[in-house]
């Protein structure tokens, strides 16, 4: 997905974004969650761990993903 395609997505779209890290130990990481903000220079993804702001220039790949599965019911103990 190009930055222009990412900017065209409606807020609330669930996606995964792979982006470059700027340190010596890691090359890239992923952010999985809902798109909550996007502009010409960055996007923000609401993940389970919190909000992640990503510069458009650091994005390696992005794609939309389906909603998470519903929680499974707890097993009854006998």
Report the C-alpha gap between 54 and 38 in whole angstroms: 9
pLDDT of residue 24: 65
Structural domain count of the chain: 1
pLDDT of residue 3: 84
pLDDT of residue 78: 66
Could you tell me if residue 54 is inside a domain? yes
Identify the domain containing residue 29 by its residue range: 3-64
Report the C-alpha gap between 30 and 40 in whole angstroms: 20
Could you tell me if residue 69 is inside a domain? no
Longest dimension (CA), the chain: 57
pLDDT of residue 4: 86
Could you tell me if residue 77 is inside a domain? no
* Contact indicator for 42, 53 with CB cutoff of 8 Å: yes
The residue ranges of the chain whose pLDDT is under 70 are 24, 78
Tokens of 31: 């952010």
Q: For 68, list phi and psi in degrees, rounded to 5.
A: -65, 155
- 52: domain CATH number is 2.30.30.520
């Amino acid at each position: 997905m190009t930055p222009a395609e990412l900017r065209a997505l409606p807020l609330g779209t669930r996606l995964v974004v792979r982006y470059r890290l700027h340190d010596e130990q890691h090359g890239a990481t992923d952010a999985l969650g809902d798109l909550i903000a996007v502009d010409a220079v960055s996007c923000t993804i609401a993940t389970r761990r919190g909000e992640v702001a990503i510069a458009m220039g650091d994005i390696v790949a992005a794609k939309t993903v389906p909603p998470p599965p519903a929680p499974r019911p707890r097993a009854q103990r006998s």
